[in-house]
Structure formats: C-alpha cells, structure tokens
A and B are shown apart, each in its own frame.
Chain A
C-alpha cells in the first residue's frame, strides 16, 4: 500500500523551485485582463 504524506511549507517551496516556479495565480490573471480593457492604456500609446 502506497504511503501518503502531506508536504511541509519547505517542501512546497522546494517543489516549486525544482519544477521552474509556481504557476501564475488566477487572481493575477483576472487583473491583467481588466488592464487590457482599460481605455487609458490605449491613450498612453
């Protein structure tokens, strides 16, 4: 029977370091989409 063990915070950090970083969080993605629709951004260009 396989054994299962939750990860410690240190192991989680080590995991993300080894796989190239934690994926972008969904809230950050939502903010970016909002910025793209901002009319002021276009004005600056």
Chain B
C-alpha cells in the first residue's frame, strides 16, 4: 500500500524565508504564497455513444401522458439492447447501499435525442444515478416540441446510471428513435472554481488547453436537476476514441472544506 502523508491543514501555505516588510504586512508570512495543484488522470476515454444506454425507443416504449421509468431490470430487452450498453452491476454507493446500475468508463455527461416524421412531441428525461464519488444525483433533460429531431446534452457528469424516467404530458408514442447515451464532457473530481484554475490539459501528451471547453463548478445551492455539475467539467478538443489518454492539472481553491472538494451537494 502506498504511504500517505498530509503536509498541512493550513488555509494558506507559504514557502521561503525572504522578508520584505510590505509583503509580510500583506501576507502575514515571509516568502511567497503557494497553491496546491493536482493532476487529474481521466485515462483512456471511450468514444461517445449517443445511444449507449437507450437505443431507438419508439411507440409504446415512450410515454403517453405519463412517466415511463426504466431501470437495469430492463437491460437486454428493447430499447436497452444496444451491444455497447454497459452490463449492469451491483455497486455500493456512498450511502452504504448497493444499487444495480449501468456504470460508465469515466464520469461524463449524458445526451438525449429523439425524432419524429413531422414534429417532435415534447418530452422530458429524468436521469438518476450517482457521481464518481457515489453521491446520488439526477438531471432533467428537455426535448422541446417541433421539427423532426431534437437533442439535449446534459451538464452533469454521471458515473453510474440508476434509472431513466421519460415524461410526456401528451401522447409521445409517435416520436421515433429516442436515444440516450453518453457525451464527451468529463467530470472533474474536485471543485473547479474557474477556467483559470486549469493549468494544463493534455490529450495523448499534446497540450490542448486553449481549445478545451471548461465549465466551472455550479455553486447553486441547493443544486437542482437543471443546474450544472457541482465540481465542473472539461470537454477536450480531441474526441475520445477509447485509446486517447486525457489528463489535466488543476488548482483546487479550497481543499480545507467539504464543499471545496466535492462542490455543493448533488440534487
């Protein structure tokens, strides 16, 4: 087992004994303030899959003025018969209980899409699952009415998916090809306060920070099913393909506080 040691619990850390009175008056310490950095290894991320969970649901598989809820009990039968769908497994979460879930390779966003021969009937999709720390979470995706296709991209990073509830206030059985899968927006493990807290972002060893889409933690408290990820996300410029390896160096502003680490509690 790797040896471990905590360097300090101090809120502010300084290094050096250089003394210049105005600086010491400002900092209360000699030397310079330093910040804790950490490397986030996302590893080799699987290719995004728009129908990785639900594949081409249609007809009676969609709601008719009701909520239709699917769980892993439906795995293996339409519309959960995509070969790419992760095999369900029982996983013990942060609350100590075991849940049957679909587990993604990394914490990443979910996406939804639906079609119609003339005009999509509005639906909402409530995805419930757990984040990479086993915290229960939910996100509401909205597919508005109109046109022949609609899409919705989630903002929160799911590691496990527990259930999918599709709602329509009218008959949405005429919608076609409803898909739910995962995107390329990856979840940060620690609360990211801003884009300036990402020092570098690499894909296969090539720096691509300037072209990444970085979203800071959503501090809305309490979080809701429509707020952003409580720790923030990063979408690398180069698409994942199952072999490309991603990593980032980030600054965590407040490692002395639970919310500073995990962000606000998940909705």
Contacts and interface: CB of A to CB of B under 8 A. Distances in A.
**Is A bound to B?**
yes
Interface of B: 61, 63, 65-70, 73-74, 122-124, 140, 142-145, 167-169, 226
A23 interface: yes
Given A1-B74, A20-B144, A15 B68 contact: no
15 contacts: A1-B73, A2-B61, A2-B68, A2-B74, A4-B63, A4-B67, A6-B65, A7-B65, A7-B67, A15-B167, A15-B168, A16-B169, A20-B122, A20-B144, A23-B145
Main secondary structure of the interface of A (DSSP, over half): mixed
A19 B114 CA distance: 14
Given A18-B124, A19-B145, A3 B69 contact: yes
A23 B144 CA distance: 11
Lowest 10 CB-CB distances: which A-B pairs, in order?
A: A19-B122, A15-B169, A3-B69, A12-B169, A5-B67, A2-B70, A2-B68, A6-B66, A19-B144, A4-B66
Contacts, number: 51
Contacts of B124: 15, 18-19
A18 B65 contact: no
Contacts of B73: 1
Contacts of A19: 122-124, 142-145
Interface residues of A, number: 16
Nearest to A3: B69
Contacts of A16: 169
Given A18-B124, A19-B122, A19-B145, A5 B66 contact: yes
A11 interface: yes
